[in-house]
Amino acid sequence: MNVITEIEKVDDSKEPSSDNSSYLEKIYEPNIRKLLYRCYQCVRCSGVCQLSRVQSFEPSRIIQMILEGFEDKIIDSGILWDCLTCNTCLQNCPEGINFADIVRMAKYKMRTSNGQNPDEYIAHKGVYTTISEIMSEPHIKPERSLEWVPKECKTSNQGNILYYVGCLPYFNFEFENSDSIAESTLKILCQIEKEPIVVLKDEICCGHDLYWGQGKLNAFIDLAKKNVQRIEETGATTIITACAECYRTLKVDYQNLFEDFKDKFQVKHLIEYIYEKWQNKKIEFKNPNESEEKIKFTYHDPCRLSRFLPKDSNIIENVRKIFTHLKEIGYEFKEMAHNKSDSLCCGVSSWMNCNERSKALRYKRMLEAKDVGEIMITSCPKCKIHLSCLQNDYEDISSIEILDFSEFLVDLINIIDPIKTLEEKE
């Protein structure tokens, strides 16, 4: 049996090394007030704030105090540790003020300038974020078990397509079957691709939780540098991930750090990969068994896919095109009351704030799912973990099956053989 013990936390309040200073300037603005000048106090952010539904939290009031010169008071209060960084406010801000980004910078400031330690906010005694920090150290080279890799899948440490697994193997210590997401994703990739898929035994965390949750920007930069170097060594040009947080981090945050990252690597979420293969007629989806009852499912949009991507991203629309097609061939897909960019947050961001308030948000989300389906699909491992965990506390929502996108589709894909298709046409 795997056992997790509490690990001593690593302090990120140290001054950035000279190697990190130039990178830090790209992702951190010490004058937070400077980022808020466009705000004209329409108060929409407070009106839509998901956290404000379960506790007193007013983004507009916080912004007003910073603009009036009371930034130090906000920093000293520590109130910004409460923010879910769900970015619902950004979706409704007429000036496009990214409050979650401001909170991220404030967290770094709260740590480095004020010496604040948010241990009480960090879920699971900080075990998972501590693992991430340890991996950021230059001399640390983790060796992860690849026992989850399906026997029929050919993998390699060199190749064109890399499956970025993320921290899923570590979650399996505490959350059963976390490997199922990684296993299902790799099964899909191995079915479609003829070449072996790159899966690294020494892969490290992308740094998402340190970046957004704890304001440990130096550790994040160190992880990013190590990741880029390791991926370059594989020769991969395409990076595929099934994790919403890894996708946002690689797709946006790494590109903010490294100007040539976008030129070197094409980052795809599994949703994008499946959609492209389907559109290019490389795959098709199996019709349901007519003798069986219709599969009724809905979809929970993770914050990082629905509110944290550039405006030209169409990932939340494309996943629905897949689901609409499944509905046309006999499955039953229904939207929850809140969906797409209006989706409700699972209440836990970056292993932060797993408490009674976040449970209230999760419970409301689960009730929405219960109203429309028997299966809830999502594309974020943490959403799946925390929504599933809540089912242990409430019997009325325990019947809902929660699956990752990869787990739902792994057995619904057929590979289209172009030769066979041509013969059938003739």
CA distance 218 to 322: 39
CA distance 393 to 395: 7
Work out the pLDDT band at 295, boundaries 50, 70, 90: confident
Residues 6+ apart with CB under 8 A from 318: 271, 272, 275
Is the pLDDT reported for residue 353 higher than 80?
A: yes
CA distance 152 to 190: 8
CA distance 184 to 190: 10
pLDDT tens-digit map of 302-323: 999 999 999 999 999 999 999 9
CA distance 384 to 396: 18
The CATH number of 31-112 is: 1.10.1060.10
- State what percent of residues in the chain have pLDDT above 90: 84
Report which of residues 58 and 6 the model is more confident about.
58
Residue 285 pairs in a beta bridge with 413
Residues 6+ apart with CB under 8 A from 328: none
Q: Which two tokens stand for residue 52?
A: 């404000």
Is the pLDDT reported for residue 20 higher than 60?
A: yes
DSSP string, 355-389: SHHHHHHHHHHHHHHHHH-SEEEES-HHHHHHHHH
**pLDDT on residue 177:** 81
CA distance 61 to 73: 13
**pLDDT on residue 4:** 44
Predicted model pTM:
0.93
Name the CA radius of gyration of the chain, rounded: 22
Taking the CA atoms of 211, 215, 217 and 218 in sequence, report the sign of the dihedral they define: negative
281-415 belongs to CATH 2.60.120: no
Is the pLDDT reported for residue 14 higher than 80?
A: no
CA distance 362 to 360: 5
Is the pLDDT reported for residue 9 higher than 60?
A: no
Identify whether the C-beta of residue 78 lies closer than 8 Å to the C-beta of residue 110.
Answer: yes
**pLDDT on residue 349:** 85
Helical H segments across 249-395, by residue range: 254-257, 261-264, 270-279, 303-306, 315-328, 356-372, 381-390
CA distance 248 to 267: 9
**pLDDT on residue 10:** 47
Q: Which of 82-91, 167-176, 249-258, 279-288 has the lowest mean pLDDT?
A: 167-176
**pLDDT on residue 418:** 62
Work out the pLDDT band at 169, boundaries 50, 70, 90: confident
pLDDT tens-digit map of 46-101: 999 999 999 999 999 999 999 999 999 999 999 999 999 999 999 999 999 999 99
Distances (CA, A) of 190 to 183, 300, 301, 313: 10, 26, 26, 26
**pLDDT on residue 1:** 39
Structural domain boundaries in the chain: 31-112, 119-276, 281-415
